[in-house]
Structure 1
């Protein structure tokens, strides 16, 4: 029963931590790379109407938000899960990938960005989260 609760907690906290990291990066994005004049990046309609004004530099922060949000969520899920740690980390990656796919239908970004985002920001970051989690996870000592 304790394993089940820890695994459920891993999913919940992984999603919340990943979403928080994503939103933090999205919220500071306009301060680091200002959007084109007249485009509100916090409004989906404004974003869709002004996406043609975006240059490649404007896609750096959304990509980092998606990638690092997924990485944080997968790492947290990996560290909390009581069993099947890799599956939980990849599950977080798939969860955020589904969100990325949905966003690609809602906001008509350039094909090159959608392709890059969907191919590199989700499952590879979940894999990286597994690698980092494996390094951070304390190893059981022999004889204990």
Structure 2
């Protein structure tokens, strides 16, 4: 498969983690901790995905390193921002 076939799976993993972490940070009392817990669960799913489905090594590394914990951090940071009203 060509690299273009892996763009949307990566984006789905990254955006899903970002949205989940944002929502967890927005709704929780311990904001960043909750965001990273969500990111950790997504990371566990990504590891399971890597073990069960065949994919190139470069995609597995990029996905596991770039789609989960960094997006959880970004979602947590965005979820902790207070709106200036």
Common fold by TM > 0.5: yes
Contact 2:32 2:77 in 1 (8 A): no
Instruction: Answer with 1 or 2: which has the greater Rg.
Output: 1
- CA offset at residue 138 of structure 1? 4.0
**Residue 58 (str. 1) matches residue 14 (str. 2):** no
Contact 2:31 2:80 in 1 (8 A): no
**Alignment-derived partner of residue 80 in structure 2:** 134
Contact 2:22 2:78 in 1 (8 A): yes
1:92 is aligned, of 38, 55, 59, to 38
**Alignment-derived partner of residue 65 in structure 2:** 119
2:53 is aligned, of 107, 122, 133, to 107
In structure 2, distance between residues paired with 1:121 and 1:55: 19
TM-score, normalised by the number of residues in structure 1: 0.56
- CA offset at residue 60 of structure 1? 0.2
Flag structure 2 segments of 5+ consecutive residues without an equivalent.
Answer: none
**Alignment-derived partner of residue 27 in structure 1:** none
**Alignment-derived partner of residue 79 in structure 1:** 26
Q: 1 or 2 for the larger relative contact order (CA 8 Å, sep ≥6)?
A: 2
In structure 1, distance between residues paired with 2:15 and 2:39: 11
* Cα root mean square deviation, aligned: 1.1
In structure 2, distance between residues paired with 1:85 and 1:130: 7
In structure 1, distance between residues paired with 2:83 and 2:33: 19
